[in-house]
């Protein structure tokens, strides 16, 4: 497979990697970003890249998300062990409450929510017209 064919086949993932790592896009290839530079860039991409994930060359262990999830699990287990030790030392008289480490996406997540539902199509079209100055 030629480099040009590779770019065509994996343009979306490659574009993401280029933008996030170099500020170039696939549209810059052959112009400000030479084909030789692109080749070097691809050879240096690690398993945490979008391109590697698309090619199936990523195990999933390279992401910080996995690491953070494992660390939160370890934190929770250490809290349980500590609570058990405290409860045992007090003869079972003292019950230590365990609060799990907060994880993203749970019900108690305080993330901002935008909107309250789908916007009707006519309102969406009006909004676009106003933004474009046509309305």
Per-residue pLDDT at 29: 95
Rounded CA separation 49/18 (Å): 10
Residue ranges of domains in the chain:
3-55, 63-107
Q: What is the pLDDT along the chain (135 residues), one digit of tens a residue?
A: 899 999 999 999 999 999 999 999 999 999 999 999 999 999 999 888 999 889 887 666 666 777 888 899 999 999 999 988 888 887 777 777 888 888 876 555 455 666 777 878 888 888 888 888 765
Per-residue pLDDT at 107: 53
Per-residue pLDDT at 64: 73
SS3 29: strand
**Longest pairwise C-alpha distance within the chain:** 76
Name the β-bridge partners of 29. 33
- Tracing tokens 């199509």 back to the chain, one arrives at 121
Handedness of CA 18, 21, 23, 29 (dihedral sign): negative
Per-residue pLDDT at 12: 96
Confidence (pTM) = 0.49
Per-residue pLDDT at 61: 64
């Amino acid at each position: 497979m030629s480099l040009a064919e590779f770019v065509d086949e994996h343009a979306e993932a490659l574009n993401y990697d280029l933008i996030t790592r170099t500020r170039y896009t696939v549209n810059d290839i052959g112009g400000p970003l030479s084909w030789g530079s692109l080749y070097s860039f691809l050879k240096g991409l690690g398993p945490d890249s979008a391109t590697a994930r698309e090619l199936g060359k990523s195990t999933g262990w390279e992401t910080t998300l996995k690491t953070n999830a494992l660390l939160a699990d370890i934190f929770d287990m250490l809290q349980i062990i500590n609570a058990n030790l405290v409860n045992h030392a007090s003869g079972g008289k003292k019950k230590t409450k365990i609060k799990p480490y907060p994880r993203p996406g749970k019900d108690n997540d305080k993330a901002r929510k935008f909107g309250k539902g789908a916007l009707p199509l006519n309102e969406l079209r009006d909004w676009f017209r106003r933004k474009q100055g046509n309305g």
